[in-house]
C-alpha cells in the first residue's frame, strides 16, 4: 500500500495555505511534570474550530475543474463536515454532508450555516457508508466522495500539523494526538518521522472507543460497534474502525496508542478551560489526559506537544465540564 510522503505533505501545505491557519505552540504550565516543557497545538483556533479544515481543504483543492462541477459528498460526526463545508463554500463547490443524529447540535448547525446540505442518519441502525453509496447511486454524474480519513489527500492535509510543529519547535521529542479514524495521527507521525526519526508520536483514545489501540496491538483491524463507541463523551473519536490506509500508516510510523478514562478526559478538559483558557471539545482533552495518566510509561521528553484537535463543544457540554461533581 502506498504511504504518503514528505513531499505529499509539503504540497498539501501549499494548497491549504489560504484555508487553514498556522496555529502557534502555546506553553502550558504543568508543575507536576517537573522540568518537562509542554506545548499546546491549538487547532481549535482554525476557522472551523478544528484541524479537519486541513485534510478537507487539501482534498477539495486537489479536485479537477470537472470534479468541482459535480460537487462533493462527505460523512462525518461533525468536524470533518465543517471542514468540507467551509472549503466547499470558499471554492464555490456544492457540498452534501451525511451526519449522525447524535452529533453535537452545534456541529450540525455550523455545517448547515456554512452552506452544506445535511443528511441525518441514526448510527444505531444505519451505516453512513451505505447511505453514501445510496446517494451516489442516485446521480447521473455523482459528486466526489470526501471521506474523513480514508484518503491520501486528507491524511497529507492533516500531516501539515506536524510540519508546523517541527518548524516552530525543532527540539520536539514527543507528540500526542487524538485517534478516531487515524488520519491525524497518520499524517503527523509520517511527517515527523521523516523530519526527525527520533521523535516519538503517540495516539490517544478513550477506553470506551479503543478500537485503534486494539487493532495496532493485534496487528489487524478490529472494529467496534456504534453502541460501544457512543458511550464516550469524546464524540470526535467515535469512529468504529481505522481504514486499511490509516492502519498501514499507524503500523509504520506511530510509536503507540494509549487510552484514558472518561473521568480523566473530563478532568483534562476542565484544566484546558480553566488553566490554559482555551475552549476545547472533549476529544481535544485526550492528549492532556494521556500525558497526566501515562507520564511514567510514555517515552521520556523535555519538549512535548499536545495536539488540541478542536473546540466545537455544545454549551451544555462546556457547562457540564466546568462542574466536576456532575462527571461520571
CB 263 within 8 A of CB 324: no
Phi/psi of residue 143, nearest 5 degrees: -65, 165
Catalytic residues: 52, 309
CB 73 within 8 A of CB 137: no
Q: How far apart are CA 246 and CA 10, in angstroms?
A: 19
Beta bridge partners of residue 26, listed in sequence order: 40
User: Which residue do the cell numbers 492528549 mark?
Assistant: 287
Q: How far apart are CA 58 and CA 16, in angstroms?
A: 6
Q: How far apart are CA 284 and CA 307, in angstroms?
A: 7
Amino acid at each position: 500500500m502506498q504511504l504518503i510522503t514528505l513531499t505529499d505533505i509539503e504540497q498539501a501545505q501549499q494548497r491549504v495555505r489560504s484555508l487553514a491557519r498556522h496555529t502557534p505552540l502555546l506553553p502550558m504550565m504543568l508543575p507536576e511534570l517537573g522540568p518537562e516543557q509542554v506545548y499546546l497545538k491549538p487547532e481549535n483556533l482554525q476557522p472551523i474550530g478544528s484541524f479537519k479544515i486541513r485534510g478537507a481543504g487539501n482534498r477539495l483543492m486537489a479536485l479537477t475543474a470537472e470534479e468541482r462541477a459535480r460537487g462533493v459528498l462527505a460523512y462525518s460526526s461533525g468536524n470533518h463536515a465543517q471542514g468540507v463545508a467551509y472549503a466547499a463554500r470558499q471554492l464555490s463547490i456544492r457540498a452534501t454532508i451525511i451526519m449522525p443524529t447524535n452529533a453535537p447540535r452545534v456541529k450540525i448547525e455550523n455545517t448547515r450555516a456554512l452552506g452544506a446540505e445535511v443528511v441525518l442518519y441514526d448510527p444505531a441502525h444505519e451505516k453512513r457508508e451505505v447511505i453514501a453509496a445510496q446517494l451516489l447511486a442516485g446521480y447521473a454524474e455523482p459528486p466526489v466522495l470526501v471521506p474523513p480519513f480514508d484518503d491520501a489527500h486528507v491524511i497529507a492535509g492533516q500531516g501539515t500539523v506536524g510540519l508546523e510543529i517541527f518548524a516552530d519547535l525543532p527540539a520536539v521529542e514527543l507528540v500526542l494526538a487524538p485517534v478516531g479514524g487515524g488520519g491525524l495521527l497518520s499524517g503527523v507521525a509520517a511527517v515527523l518521522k521523516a523530519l526527525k526519526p527520533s521523535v516519538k508520536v503517540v495516539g490517544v483514545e478513550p477506553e470506551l472507543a479503543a478500537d485503534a489501540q486494539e487493532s495496532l496491538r493485534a496487528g489487524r483491524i478490529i472494529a467496534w460497534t456504534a453502541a460501544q463507541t457512543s458511550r464516550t463523551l469524546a464524540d470526535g473519536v467515535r469512529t468504529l474502525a481505522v481504514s486499511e490506509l490509516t492502519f498501514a500508516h499507524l503500523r509504520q510510523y506511530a510509536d503507540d496508542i494509549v487510552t484514558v478514562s472518561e473521568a480523566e478526559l473530563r478532568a483534562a478538559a476542565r484544566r484546558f478551560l480553566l488553566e490554559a483558557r482555551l475552549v476545547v471539545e472533549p476529544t481535544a482533552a485526550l492528549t492532556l489526559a494521556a500525558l497526566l495518566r501515562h507520564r511514567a510509561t510514555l517515552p521520556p521528553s523535555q519538549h512535548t506537544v499536545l495536539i488540541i484537535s478542536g473546540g466545537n463543544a455544545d454549551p451544555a457540554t462546556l457547562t457540564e465540564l466546568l462542574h466536576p461533581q456532575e462527571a461520571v
